[in-house]
Structure 1
Amino acid sequence: MDVEGMNWFVFGACLSACAAAAVSGMLFKPGAWYAGLSKPWWTPSNWMFPVVWAVLYVTMSVAAARVAALPDGAVLLALWATQIAFNTLWSGVFFGLRDIRTALIVMAVLWLSVMVTTAFFWQADVIAGALFSGYLSWITVALALNFSVRSQNARTA
């Protein structure tokens, strides 16, 4: 189960949790509603989202698998579970309910949980922290995008 500092069972379990988040994103597609919203010029192209998320879900799972057996592994995995819960929730709130304001709150909590998880992972295992850093960067962009969409569409949000 442990090859080069990675617990493959934890990797599979975390990748499964990421798959649930991905399914949430597939169930609540952006569609015409999202296309009709005002967005900033720097909004990533639509094709980027599934590509980036696929890479991030794998790196997030590898990071969790690396820290699982460490002395504080239970705490680190609890932090990981917290962030993936908010990750999964966001798509339903933003695209499903079309509630940009509440989605912004969910995204802010997600950003905070990812930031804390990244910091703790970095202290426990430099590679796990580095793997999670890309996720923190992407969530920072997503938070800024959610904020911008909320600001530009305040009357309809």
Structure 2
Amino acid sequence: MDWFLFCIFLAATFAAGATGAMFPTGEWYKQLNKPSWTPPNWLFPVAWTSIYLLMAFAGARVAVLEGSAYAMAFWAMQIAFNALWTPVFFGLRNLRASLPIMAGLWIAVFGATITHWQLDLWAGLAFVPYLTWVSVAAALNIAMVRLNPDQKPLRLETL
């Protein structure tokens, strides 16, 4: 594996992850109704750090391979949706608007998992925890919309 390439992919993942620091959960999130199966707060940074490392590993392994265009397109698509979801959900507090972003993220992660797997077994396996985590996140996103029907998003002029 090309370590310089790994560092480039890792920088991309942590840049996307920086939205979490820019839009923290805060009191607003604590006040929301959540399903009983919501993961504990400490698990989110642990899971995302692990997932970001695995995503960078997978991307670096596959980027140099012949025929990796679709895998790289899905990799780019998933990191874009990943970076977009947090500002919409936590920044704008728009639970409903975050749903189509989450759907796009799930499709992109599924596509990345399949296309990486086709090129390199280890790269494909590296995406499996991400696919699992984003499936839980999607279910949690849907549950949050259902459990908080009166939740109003922030208006842009209040930002």
Same fold (TM > 0.5) = yes
Question: Where on the TM-score scale, by shorter chain, does this alignment land: which range?
Answer: over 0.9
Residue 9 (str. 1) matches residue 4 (str. 2): yes
Q: Could you tell me whether the CA contact under 8 Å between 2:106 and 2:135 is conserved in 1?
A: yes
Structure 1 vs Structure 2 CA RMSD: 0.9
2:24 aligned to which of 20, 29, 35 = 29
Gaps of 5+ in 2: 153-159
Residue 115 (str. 1) matches residue 110 (str. 2): yes
TM-score of the two chains, using structure 2 as the length reference: 0.92
Determine what percentage of the aligned residue pairs are the same residue.
48
Q: Could you tell me whether the CA contact under 8 Å between 2:70 and 2:115 is conserved in 1?
A: no
In 2, Cα distance between equivalents of 1:142 and 1:95:
14
In 2, Cα distance between equivalents of 1:26 and 1:128:
28
Q: Could you tell me whether the CA contact under 8 Å between 2:117 and 2:125 is conserved in 1?
A: yes
In 1, Cα distance between equivalents of 2:78 and 2:98:
14
In 1, Cα distance between equivalents of 2:27 and 2:77:
31
Distance 1:77 1:7, change over 3 A: farther
In 2, Cα distance between equivalents of 1:128 and 1:71:
14
Per-residue CA deviation, residues 76-127 of structure 1 (Å, 9 max, x unaligned), is: 2221011001001110000000000011110111001000110111111111
Gaps of 5+ in 1: 1-5
Q: Could you tell me whether the CA contact under 8 Å between 1:7 and 1:68 is conserved in 2?
A: no
